[in-house]
Chain A
Protein backbone atom coordinates (compact mmCIF):
# COMPACT_ATOMS: atom_id res chain seq x y z
CA UNK A 1 0.00 0.00 0.00
CA UNK A 2 0.91 3.62 0.12
CA UNK A 3 4.15 4.43 1.87
CA UNK A 4 3.84 6.32 5.11
CA UNK A 5 4.87 9.95 4.79
CA UNK A 6 8.17 10.78 6.49
CA UNK A 7 6.45 13.22 8.78
CA UNK A 8 4.26 10.50 10.31
CA UNK A 9 7.25 8.19 10.73
CA UNK A 10 9.19 10.96 12.43
CA UNK A 11 6.35 11.93 14.75
CA UNK A 12 5.83 8.33 15.76
CA UNK A 13 9.52 7.83 16.48
CA UNK A 14 9.64 10.96 18.61
CA UNK A 15 6.50 9.99 20.52
CA UNK A 16 8.24 6.74 21.43
CA UNK A 17 11.60 8.32 22.23
CA UNK A 18 10.29 11.28 24.21
CA UNK A 19 6.84 10.37 25.48
CA UNK A 20 4.62 13.11 26.87
CA UNK A 21 4.04 12.68 30.61
CA UNK A 22 0.53 11.52 31.26
CA UNK A 23 -0.14 10.63 27.62
CA UNK A 24 0.54 7.51 25.63
CA UNK A 25 -0.06 7.12 21.91
CA UNK A 26 0.78 3.84 20.21
CA UNK A 27 0.23 3.13 16.51
CA UNK A 28 -1.91 0.14 15.65
CA UNK A 29 -0.04 -2.93 14.42
CA UNK A 30 -1.98 -3.10 11.19
CA UNK A 31 -2.53 0.60 10.51
CA UNK A 32 0.23 3.10 11.24
CA UNK A 33 -2.22 6.00 10.85
CA UNK A 34 -4.41 4.77 13.68
CA UNK A 35 -3.22 5.42 17.25
CA UNK A 36 -4.40 3.92 20.52
CA UNK A 37 -4.25 6.76 23.02
CA UNK A 38 -4.47 6.95 26.79
CA UNK A 39 -4.69 10.31 28.53
CA UNK A 40 -4.56 10.60 32.30
CA UNK A 41 -7.05 12.93 33.93
CA UNK A 42 -5.25 16.13 35.00
CA UNK A 43 -4.57 16.83 38.66
CA UNK A 44 -7.05 19.12 40.42
CA UNK A 45 -9.71 18.34 37.86
CA UNK A 46 -12.80 16.14 38.32
CA UNK A 47 -11.06 13.68 35.99
CA UNK A 48 -8.02 13.19 38.23
CA UNK A 49 -7.10 9.56 38.70
CA UNK A 50 -8.88 8.46 35.54
CA UNK A 51 -7.32 6.82 32.50
CA UNK A 52 -9.17 7.88 29.38
CA UNK A 53 -8.90 5.89 26.17
CA UNK A 54 -9.09 7.73 22.89
CA UNK A 55 -8.61 6.85 19.24
CA UNK A 56 -6.69 9.08 16.89
CA UNK A 57 -6.60 8.74 13.13
CA UNK A 58 -4.36 10.63 10.70
CA UNK A 59 -6.29 11.29 7.47
CA UNK A 60 -4.71 10.97 4.03
CA UNK A 61 -3.84 14.61 3.74
CA UNK A 62 -2.42 14.94 7.25
CA UNK A 63 -0.80 17.28 8.27
CA UNK A 64 -2.70 19.59 5.94
CA UNK A 65 -5.86 18.50 7.71
CA UNK A 66 -6.34 17.72 11.38
CA UNK A 67 -6.24 14.30 12.98
CA UNK A 68 -9.59 12.76 13.86
CA UNK A 69 -9.75 12.18 17.59
CA UNK A 70 -12.49 10.66 19.73
CA UNK A 71 -12.87 9.58 23.35
CA UNK A 72 -13.63 5.89 23.71
CA UNK A 73 -13.99 6.05 27.49
CA UNK A 74 -17.24 7.69 28.56
CA UNK A 75 -16.61 11.11 30.06
CA UNK A 76 -18.82 13.77 31.62
CA UNK A 77 -17.59 16.98 30.01
CA UNK A 78 -19.45 19.89 28.37
CA UNK A 79 -17.25 19.82 25.26
CA UNK A 80 -17.34 16.07 24.68
CA UNK A 81 -20.53 14.36 23.57
CA UNK A 82 -21.97 10.90 24.17
CA UNK A 83 -20.11 9.51 21.17
CA UNK A 84 -16.81 10.85 22.46
CA UNK A 85 -16.59 13.58 19.84
CA UNK A 86 -14.57 16.56 20.99
CA UNK A 87 -15.36 20.23 20.47
CA UNK A 88 -11.94 21.81 20.18
CA UNK A 89 -11.04 24.60 17.77
CA UNK A 90 -7.62 23.24 16.79
CA UNK A 91 -9.30 20.05 15.55
CA UNK A 92 -11.52 22.14 13.29
CA UNK A 93 -10.99 25.60 11.81
CA UNK A 94 -7.96 26.45 13.96
CA UNK A 95 -5.95 23.45 12.81
CA UNK A 96 -2.43 24.25 11.68
CA UNK A 97 -0.05 21.81 9.98
CA UNK A 98 2.62 22.82 12.50
CA UNK A 99 0.58 21.15 15.24
CA UNK A 100 1.32 17.50 15.94
CA UNK A 101 -0.17 14.41 17.59
CA UNK A 102 1.70 15.45 20.72
CA UNK A 103 0.31 18.99 20.81
CA UNK A 104 -3.21 17.85 19.96
CA UNK A 105 -3.25 15.40 22.86
CA UNK A 106 -1.83 18.02 25.23
CA UNK A 107 -4.62 20.38 24.15
CA UNK A 108 -7.20 17.69 24.83
CA UNK A 109 -5.70 17.09 28.26
CA UNK A 110 -5.85 20.84 28.90
CA UNK A 111 -9.51 20.84 27.85
CA UNK A 112 -10.18 18.42 30.72
CA UNK A 113 -8.73 20.98 33.13
CA UNK A 114 -10.66 23.84 31.58
CA UNK A 115 -14.18 22.86 30.50
CA UNK A 116 -15.86 25.52 28.43
CA UNK A 117 -19.65 25.31 28.89
CA UNK A 118 -20.18 28.38 26.70
CA UNK A 119 -19.14 26.39 23.63
CA UNK A 120 -20.92 23.14 24.36
CA UNK A 121 -21.13 19.91 22.48
CA UNK A 122 -23.01 17.99 25.15
CA UNK A 123 -25.86 20.39 25.83
CA UNK A 124 -27.29 18.84 28.98
CA UNK A 125 -23.85 18.64 30.57
CA UNK A 126 -23.03 22.22 29.62
CA UNK A 127 -26.35 23.44 30.99
CA UNK A 128 -25.78 21.80 34.36
CA UNK A 129 -22.18 23.06 34.36
CA UNK A 130 -23.52 26.58 34.05
CA UNK A 131 -26.45 26.46 36.49
CA UNK A 132 -25.00 24.12 39.12
CA UNK A 133 -21.27 23.68 38.70
CA UNK A 134 -20.72 21.72 41.90
CA UNK A 135 -23.28 19.10 40.88
CA UNK A 136 -21.73 18.89 37.41
CA UNK A 137 -18.31 18.35 38.93
CA UNK A 138 -19.75 15.66 41.21
CA UNK A 139 -21.16 13.93 38.11
CA UNK A 140 -17.83 14.20 36.32
CA UNK A 141 -16.04 12.64 39.30
CA UNK A 142 -18.61 9.88 39.50
CA UNK A 143 -18.27 9.09 35.76
CA UNK A 144 -14.50 9.14 36.08
CA UNK A 145 -14.66 6.65 38.96
CA UNK A 146 -17.17 4.46 37.13
CA UNK A 147 -15.77 4.42 33.61
CA UNK A 148 -12.12 5.51 33.77
CA UNK A 149 -10.83 3.68 36.80
CA UNK A 150 -11.94 0.13 36.19
CA UNK A 151 -8.42 -1.21 35.89
Chain B
Protein backbone atom coordinates (compact mmCIF):
# COMPACT_ATOMS: atom_id res chain seq x y z
CA UNK B 1 0.00 0.00 0.00
CA UNK B 2 2.70 2.41 1.00
CA UNK B 3 4.67 1.43 -2.04
CA UNK B 4 1.71 2.02 -4.32
CA UNK B 5 1.26 5.47 -2.83
CA UNK B 6 4.83 6.51 -3.32
CA UNK B 7 4.77 5.22 -6.86
CA UNK B 8 1.70 7.29 -7.48
CA UNK B 9 3.31 10.35 -5.93
CA UNK B 10 6.31 9.83 -8.12
CA UNK B 11 4.22 9.78 -11.27
CA UNK B 12 2.42 12.87 -10.04
CA UNK B 13 5.77 14.65 -9.80
CA UNK B 14 6.45 13.75 -13.39
CA UNK B 15 3.08 14.62 -14.85
CA UNK B 16 2.10 17.70 -12.87
CA UNK B 17 4.10 20.88 -13.17
CA UNK B 18 5.04 22.61 -9.94
CA UNK B 19 2.49 25.21 -8.94
CA UNK B 20 4.18 28.58 -8.41
CA UNK B 21 1.87 29.34 -5.52
CA UNK B 22 2.07 26.27 -3.29
CA UNK B 23 5.42 25.07 -4.74
CA UNK B 24 4.08 21.53 -5.00
CA UNK B 25 2.95 19.42 -7.95
CA UNK B 26 -0.33 20.88 -9.22
CA UNK B 27 -3.47 19.37 -7.76
CA UNK B 28 -6.26 19.62 -10.35
CA UNK B 29 -4.08 21.75 -12.64
CA UNK B 30 -6.01 24.62 -14.16
CA UNK B 31 -4.81 26.74 -17.07
CA UNK B 32 -5.66 30.43 -17.23
CA UNK B 33 -6.27 32.13 -20.60
CA UNK B 34 -2.70 33.54 -20.43
CA UNK B 35 -1.42 29.95 -20.40
CA UNK B 36 -0.12 29.79 -16.84
CA UNK B 37 -0.95 26.66 -14.89
CA UNK B 38 -1.67 26.41 -11.15
CA UNK B 39 -3.62 24.20 -8.79
CA UNK B 40 -7.32 24.90 -9.14
CA UNK B 41 -7.52 25.86 -5.45
CA UNK B 42 -4.48 28.12 -5.72
CA UNK B 43 -6.12 29.96 -8.63
CA UNK B 44 -9.24 30.25 -6.54
CA UNK B 45 -7.18 31.82 -3.79
CA UNK B 46 -5.68 34.60 -5.86
CA UNK B 47 -8.67 35.01 -8.14
CA UNK B 48 -10.70 35.91 -5.05
CA UNK B 49 -8.07 38.34 -3.99
CA UNK B 50 -6.99 40.41 -6.96
CA UNK B 51 -8.46 38.69 -9.99
CA UNK B 52 -5.13 38.54 -11.79
CA UNK B 53 -2.73 35.79 -12.80
CA UNK B 54 -0.02 35.36 -10.18
CA UNK B 55 2.65 35.10 -12.88
CA UNK B 56 1.78 37.76 -15.45
CA UNK B 57 -1.07 39.72 -13.81
CA UNK B 58 -3.37 39.20 -16.76
CA UNK B 59 -6.97 39.50 -15.68
CA UNK B 60 -8.81 36.29 -14.82
CA UNK B 61 -12.26 35.90 -16.42
CA UNK B 62 -15.01 36.28 -13.80
CA UNK B 63 -16.46 32.87 -14.54
CA UNK B 64 -13.15 31.00 -14.43
CA UNK B 65 -13.69 29.55 -10.98
CA UNK B 66 -17.14 28.30 -11.96
CA UNK B 67 -15.92 27.03 -15.31
CA UNK B 68 -12.22 26.37 -15.01
CA UNK B 69 -10.08 25.00 -17.80
CA UNK B 70 -8.78 21.86 -16.14
CA UNK B 71 -5.92 19.90 -17.65
CA UNK B 72 -7.04 16.69 -15.99
CA UNK B 73 -10.51 15.46 -15.32
CA UNK B 74 -10.92 15.01 -11.58
CA UNK B 75 -10.80 11.39 -10.61
CA UNK B 76 -13.95 9.62 -11.71
CA UNK B 77 -16.00 7.65 -9.25
CA UNK B 78 -14.55 4.36 -10.39
CA UNK B 79 -11.00 5.41 -9.66
CA UNK B 80 -11.56 7.17 -6.39
CA UNK B 81 -13.34 4.13 -5.04
CA UNK B 82 -10.15 2.13 -5.02
CA UNK B 83 -8.33 5.05 -3.44
CA UNK B 84 -9.12 6.43 -0.06
CA UNK B 85 -8.11 5.55 3.43
CA UNK B 86 -8.74 2.23 5.18
CA UNK B 87 -9.98 0.74 1.94
CA UNK B 88 -12.10 3.56 0.59
CA UNK B 89 -12.76 6.37 3.06
CA UNK B 90 -12.55 10.01 2.08
CA UNK B 91 -13.04 13.40 3.67
CA UNK B 92 -15.98 15.60 2.72
CA UNK B 93 -17.24 19.08 3.52
CA UNK B 94 -20.73 20.36 3.42
CA UNK B 95 -21.92 22.35 0.42
CA UNK B 96 -25.30 23.60 -0.58
CA UNK B 97 -27.43 20.49 -1.14
CA UNK B 98 -24.68 17.97 -0.81
CA UNK B 99 -21.12 17.12 0.01
CA UNK B 100 -17.86 18.07 -1.66
CA UNK B 101 -14.90 15.77 -1.40
CA UNK B 102 -11.74 17.48 -0.20
CA UNK B 103 -8.87 17.61 -2.68
CA UNK B 104 -6.38 14.80 -2.37
CA UNK B 105 -3.68 16.77 -0.60
CA UNK B 106 -5.99 18.26 2.02
CA UNK B 107 -7.58 14.83 2.51
CA UNK B 108 -4.21 13.35 3.31
CA UNK B 109 -3.46 16.05 5.82
CA UNK B 110 -6.85 15.57 7.45
CA UNK B 111 -6.44 11.83 7.61
CA UNK B 112 -2.93 12.03 9.11
CA UNK B 113 -4.05 14.49 11.72
CA UNK B 114 -7.19 12.47 12.49
CA UNK B 115 -5.22 9.23 12.86
CA UNK B 116 -2.79 11.11 15.03
CA UNK B 117 -5.60 11.84 17.45
CA UNK B 118 -5.31 15.63 17.02
CA UNK B 119 -8.30 17.64 18.17
CA UNK B 120 -7.79 20.34 15.55
CA UNK B 121 -5.69 21.06 12.50
CA UNK B 122 -5.06 24.31 10.65
CA UNK B 123 -5.16 24.30 6.88
CA UNK B 124 -4.54 26.92 4.23
CA UNK B 125 -7.11 26.29 1.53
CA UNK B 126 -7.56 28.63 -1.43
CA UNK B 127 -5.91 31.45 0.45
CA UNK B 128 -7.92 31.18 3.65
CA UNK B 129 -6.77 29.71 6.90
CA UNK B 130 -9.22 27.17 8.29
CA UNK B 131 -9.37 25.33 11.58
CA UNK B 132 -10.77 21.84 11.40
CA UNK B 133 -12.30 20.70 14.69
CA UNK B 134 -12.35 16.90 14.73
CA UNK B 135 -14.37 16.70 17.96
CA UNK B 136 -17.32 18.52 16.43
CA UNK B 137 -16.46 17.64 12.84
CA UNK B 138 -16.50 21.26 11.75
CA UNK B 139 -14.41 23.42 9.47
CA UNK B 140 -14.21 27.06 10.58
CA UNK B 141 -12.57 29.98 8.90
CA UNK B 142 -9.85 31.17 11.22
CA UNK B 143 -10.55 34.90 10.95
CA UNK B 144 -14.33 34.48 10.72
CA UNK B 145 -15.51 31.44 12.71
CA UNK B 146 -19.12 32.17 11.75
CA UNK B 147 -18.17 30.73 8.37
CA UNK B 148 -18.42 27.11 9.28
CA UNK B 149 -19.19 23.90 7.46
CA UNK B 150 -19.77 20.39 8.65
CA UNK B 151 -17.23 17.84 7.59
CA UNK B 152 -17.32 14.06 7.55
CA UNK B 153 -15.24 11.02 6.87
CA UNK B 154 -17.25 8.64 4.75
CA UNK B 155 -16.90 6.03 2.08
CA UNK B 156 -15.64 7.53 -1.13
CA UNK B 157 -18.60 6.20 -3.11
CA UNK B 158 -21.24 8.42 -1.51
CA UNK B 159 -23.06 10.76 -3.82
CA UNK B 160 -21.13 13.99 -3.96
CA UNK B 161 -21.19 17.30 -5.77
CA UNK B 162 -17.59 16.93 -6.85
CA UNK B 163 -14.08 17.45 -5.58
CA UNK B 164 -12.86 20.67 -3.98
CA UNK B 165 -15.45 22.81 -5.71
CA UNK B 166 -14.99 21.17 -9.09
CA UNK B 167 -18.19 19.52 -10.19
CA UNK B 168 -17.45 16.02 -11.32
CA UNK B 169 -19.36 14.18 -13.98
CA UNK B 170 -19.75 11.30 -11.62
CA UNK B 171 -22.51 13.06 -9.74
CA UNK B 172 -24.41 13.68 -12.97
CA UNK B 173 -23.68 10.23 -14.23
CA UNK B 174 -24.83 8.59 -11.08
CA UNK B 175 -28.13 10.41 -11.35
CA UNK B 176 -28.62 9.40 -14.90
CA UNK B 177 -27.55 5.86 -14.30
CA UNK B 178 -29.93 5.58 -11.44
CA UNK B 179 -32.93 6.40 -13.54
CA UNK B 180 -31.91 4.84 -16.81
CA UNK B 181 -29.90 1.83 -17.80
CA UNK B 182 -26.34 0.77 -18.68
CA UNK B 183 -26.86 2.42 -22.09
CA UNK B 184 -25.84 5.61 -20.42
CA UNK B 185 -22.31 4.38 -20.31
CA UNK B 186 -22.00 4.97 -24.01
CA UNK B 187 -22.29 8.67 -23.42
CA UNK B 188 -19.88 8.97 -20.56
CA UNK B 189 -16.20 9.44 -21.40
CA UNK B 190 -15.09 7.02 -18.74
CA UNK B 191 -17.03 3.79 -18.51
CA UNK B 192 -18.34 3.03 -15.09
CA UNK B 193 -19.47 -0.35 -13.96
CA UNK B 194 -22.89 -0.76 -12.43
CA UNK B 195 -21.35 -1.68 -9.09
CA UNK B 196 -20.13 1.88 -8.78
CA UNK B 197 -23.60 3.26 -8.94
CA UNK B 198 -24.60 4.67 -5.61
CA UNK B 199 -27.93 3.16 -4.80
CA UNK B 200 -28.73 5.21 -1.76
CA UNK B 201 -32.08 6.97 -1.90
CA UNK B 202 -30.46 10.25 -0.84
CA UNK B 203 -29.06 10.78 -4.30
CA UNK B 204 -32.03 12.88 -5.26
CA UNK B 205 -30.82 15.62 -2.94
CA UNK B 206 -27.69 15.95 -4.95
CA UNK B 207 -29.18 18.25 -7.53
CA UNK B 208 -29.40 21.88 -6.54
CA UNK B 209 -33.11 22.09 -7.17
CA UNK B 210 -36.05 20.27 -8.56
CA UNK B 211 -35.67 21.89 -11.93
CA UNK B 212 -32.36 20.11 -12.36
CA UNK B 213 -33.88 16.88 -11.13
CA UNK B 214 -36.47 17.20 -13.81
CA UNK B 215 -33.89 18.01 -16.46
CA UNK B 216 -31.79 15.06 -15.47
CA UNK B 217 -34.78 12.79 -15.64
CA UNK B 218 -35.85 14.11 -19.02
CA UNK B 219 -32.35 13.71 -20.30
CA UNK B 220 -32.12 10.15 -19.14
CA UNK B 221 -35.46 9.33 -20.67
CA UNK B 222 -34.27 10.80 -23.96
CA UNK B 223 -31.19 8.65 -23.75
CA UNK B 224 -33.40 5.67 -23.23
CA UNK B 225 -35.40 6.44 -26.32
CA UNK B 226 -32.39 6.94 -28.53
CA UNK B 227 -30.34 4.06 -27.32
CA UNK B 228 -32.82 1.36 -26.53
CA UNK B 229 -35.79 1.98 -28.68
CA UNK B 230 -36.94 -1.60 -28.45
CA UNK B 231 -36.79 -2.07 -24.78
CA UNK B 232 -38.64 1.16 -24.11
CA UNK B 233 -41.74 -0.29 -25.69
CA UNK B 234 -41.52 -3.23 -23.36
CA UNK B 235 -40.67 -1.45 -20.18
CA UNK B 236 -42.11 2.01 -20.40
CA UNK B 237 -45.13 1.85 -22.64
Which A residues lie at the B interface, using CB under 8 A? 2-3, 5-7, 10-11, 60-61, 63-64, 96-98
- Shortest C-beta distance, A72 to chain B (Å), equals 28
Residue-by-residue, is B141-168 near A (CB-CB < 8 Å gives 1, otherwise 0)?
0110000000000000000000000000
The complex places the Cα of A49 from the Cα of B193 at a distance, in Å, of: 71
What is the interface of chain A mostly: helix, strand, loop, or mixed? Answer: loop
Known: A2-B122, A3-B122, A96-B57. A64 touches B22 (CB 8 A): no
Contact B24 A60 (CB under 8 A): no
| Segment from B41-49, B81-89, B174-182 that makes contact with A | B41-49
**B17 interfacial contact with A, CB 8 Å:** no
- Shortest C-beta distance, B46 to chain A (Å), equals 5
The complex places the Cα of A7 from the Cα of B45 at a distance, in Å, of: 14
**B226 interfacial contact with A, CB 8 Å:** no
The residues of A that contact B23 with a CB separation of less than 8 Å are 6-7, 10-11
| Segment from B92-100, B123-131, B204-212, B215-223 that makes contact with A | B123-131
Known: A3-B122, A61-B124. A98 touches B20 (CB 8 A): yes
Contact A10 B24 (CB under 8 A): yes
Contact A98 B54 (CB under 8 A): yes
**B121 interfacial contact with A, CB 8 Å:** yes
Residue-by-residue, is B41-70 near A (CB-CB < 8 Å gives 1, otherwise 0)?
010011001001011010000000000000
The complex places the Cα of A64 from the Cα of B49 at a distance, in Å, of: 8
Known: A3-B121, A98-B20. A60 touches B54 (CB 8 A): no
Query: Interface range on chain B: under 10, 10 to 19, 20 to 34, or 35 or more?
Result: 20 to 34
Q: Which of the residues A2, A63, A98 comes within 8 Å of B55, measured between beta carbons?
A: A98
**B21 interfacial contact with A, CB 8 Å:** yes
The complex places the Cα of A98 from the Cα of B58 at a distance, in Å, of: 13
The residue in A5, A60, A96 that gathers the most chain B C-beta atoms within 10 A of its C-beta is A96
Known: A2-B122, A61-B124, A64-B46. A98 touches B129 (CB 8 A): no
The complex places the Cα of A10 from the Cα of B55 at a distance, in Å, of: 19
The complex places the Cα of A6 from the Cα of B49 at a distance, in Å, of: 21
The residues of B that contact A11 with a CB separation of less than 8 Å are 23
Q: Which residue of B lies closest to A99 (CB)?
A: B54
The complex places the Cα of A127 from the Cα of B80 at a distance, in Å, of: 64
Chain A to chain B: the 7 pairs with minimum beta-carbon distance, closest first: A64-B127, A98-B54, A2-B122, A98-B20, A10-B23, A97-B21, A96-B54
The complex places the Cα of A5 from the Cα of B124 at a distance, in Å, of: 7
The residues of B that contact A97 with a CB separation of less than 8 Å are 20-21, 42, 45-46, 54, 127
- Shortest C-beta distance, B29 to chain A (Å), equals 15
| 28 A–B contacts from the bound complex (CB under 8 Å) | A2-B122, A3-B121, A3-B122, A6-B22, A7-B22, A7-B23, A7-B24, A10-B23, A10-B24, A11-B23, A60-B129, A60-B143, A61-B124, A61-B127, A63-B21, A64-B45, A64-B46, A64-B127, A64-B128, A96-B46, A96-B54, A96-B55, A96-B57, A97-B21, A97-B46, A98-B20, A98-B21, A98-B55
